[in-house]
């Protein structure tokens, strides 16, 4: 017996099983009122990767925005110079600021 009739017979059986399976799944969805999520629905949401509720998510976003604003303020206070194509802290400017603060009497050693 040739392998071609065996292959055709097995493909027919496979198609029959796939057809019966799809009918069964449709019947079960209808009977149990189920919704099967698509792959796109199961992907992680960019705005809410850890699945927080709306209020918790908004609080987290506000805290992150405040932290980012604070970080921008701190970075803006640092004297920066571009050397060799890279940004580096200007040590001379820092020394001048520290000397000025020492002369004014305010002793702050936070690097700004």
Which tens digit of pLDDT belongs to each residue from 37-88?
A: 776 666 666 666 677 777 888 888 899 999 999 999 988 888 888 888 888 8
Instruction: Check whether 100 has a pLDDT greater than 90.
Output: no
Residue 107's pLDDT band, with cuts at 50, 70 and 90, is low
From residue 86, alpha-carbon distances to 70, 75, 80, 106 in Å are 23, 16, 10, 32
Rounded-to-integer distance, Cα 35 and Cα 42, Å: 13
Tokens found for residue 59: 């609080």
Q: What gap in Å lies between CA 102 and CA 67, rounded to an integer?
A: 30
Alpha helices (H) along 33-90: 39-42, 54-77
pLDDT of 22 above 80: yes
Distance CA 26, CA 89 (A): 66
Quote the pLDDT of residue 42: 65
Whether the predicted pLDDT of 112 surpasses 70: no
Instruction: Quote the CA–CA distance of 111 and 75 in Å, as a whole number.
Output: 11
Q: What pLDDT does residue 106 have?
A: 60
């Amino acid at each position: 017996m040739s392998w071609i009739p065996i292959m055709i017979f097995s493909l027919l059986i496979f198609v029959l099983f796939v057809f019966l399976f799809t009918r069964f799944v449709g019947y079960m969805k209808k009977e149990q009122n189920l919704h099967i999520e698509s792959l796109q629905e199961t992907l992680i949401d960019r705005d809410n990767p850890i699945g927080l509720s709306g209020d918790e998510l908004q609080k987290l976003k506000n805290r992150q925005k405040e932290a980012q604003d604070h970080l921008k303020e701190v970075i803006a206070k640092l004297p920066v110079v571009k050397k060799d194509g890279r940004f580096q802290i200007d040590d001379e400017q820092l020394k001048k600021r520290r000397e000025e603060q020492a002369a004014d009497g305010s002793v702050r050693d936070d690097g700004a």
